[in-house]
Amino acid sequence: MITLKNVTKKYNNYDLISYNDLIINKGDFISIVGPSGSGKSTLIDLIAKLNTCSSGEIKIFDKSINTYDDKRSIQLFRKEIGIMSSTSSLFSILNIRDNILLPLIIHNIDKCNSNFEHIIHKLNLKNLLDKSSGDLSSGERQRVLLARAMVLKPKILIADEPTANLDLDNTKQLVNFLRYLNDDFKTTIIVATHDDIVSKSSKRIYELEK
C-alpha cells in the first residue's frame, strides 16, 4: 500500500536524513519512533505529500506520489488519506462542527455519506460542536483534528504526535480510537510518536536514528 525506497530528505544542503526502506501493508498500524530531530515529522510530511523527497521514491496505492500531480488525482489522494500533521490547524471563523465538516464541502460529499455522526460519538465531541476553535483545550483540539482527518472515511490515517498534550485518560481514549479504526475499519495507520502508550498499541515500529 505504501513503500519507501532509498528515500532521503536534505534541508539546507547539509542536514541529510536517510530513511530505511519500508513496506506498509493494508491494515498495518505502524509507529515511527526515534529521538527528537531524527526525522519523524519530516517522514509524516513526505508521505502526506506536504513536503518532497530529495531522492528516492515513495509509492502509495502502487503509484509514485509524484504522479498525484493534477487536480483530480490530488483530490483523490487527499480523500483517501486522512492527515493530522504538526501544522494542522482549525479555522477560527468556523465553529467546531464546520471545521470537522470542511473536507466534505471541499470534496462535495453529503454528510450522510460521511463518518461524521459516528466519529462525533466515538470521540465524544457532541458538546463541543457549537464552540469556536479558540475555546478548546489542547486535548479537545487534538480530538477535533483527528475527527476532521477521519470524516471522509480515508483508507490511510497519517498522524504526527496525535497524543501530544494529552493527559493519561485522553491518551488512552485516543489510542483506543486508533485501535478501533484499525481493527474495525481496517484503516491503515501511520503515527509519529514519542508516546510509549501509542507505540505499544501499534502493530509495528519503524525506528529512526539521529
Measured from the Cβ of residue 19, the count of other Cβ atoms closer than 10 Å reads 21
- The reply on whether position 88 binds Mg ion by CB under 5 A is no
Residues 6+ apart with CB under 8 A from 89: none
Nearest to Mg ion of 42, 133 (CB atom)? 42
Q: How many residues does the chain have?
A: 210
Binding mask 16-55 for ligand ATP (x = CB under 6 A): -x----------------x-xxxxxxx-------------
Contact 171, 165 (CB under 8 A): no
Nearest to ligand ATP of 87, 108 (CB atom)? 87
Q: Which does 12 bind (CB under 5 to 8 A by kind): ligand ATP, Mg ion, none?
A: ligand ATP
List phi, psi (to 5°) of 6.
55, 35
Q: CB of residue 172 vs Mg ion: minimum separation in angstroms? A: 22
Q: Where are the beta strands (DSSP E) in 107-202?
A: 156-160, 188-192
Q: Can you give the binding site for ligand ATP, defined by CB under 6 A?
A: 11-12, 15, 17, 34, 36-42
Q: Can you give the binding site for Mg ion, defined by CB under 5 A?
A: 40-41
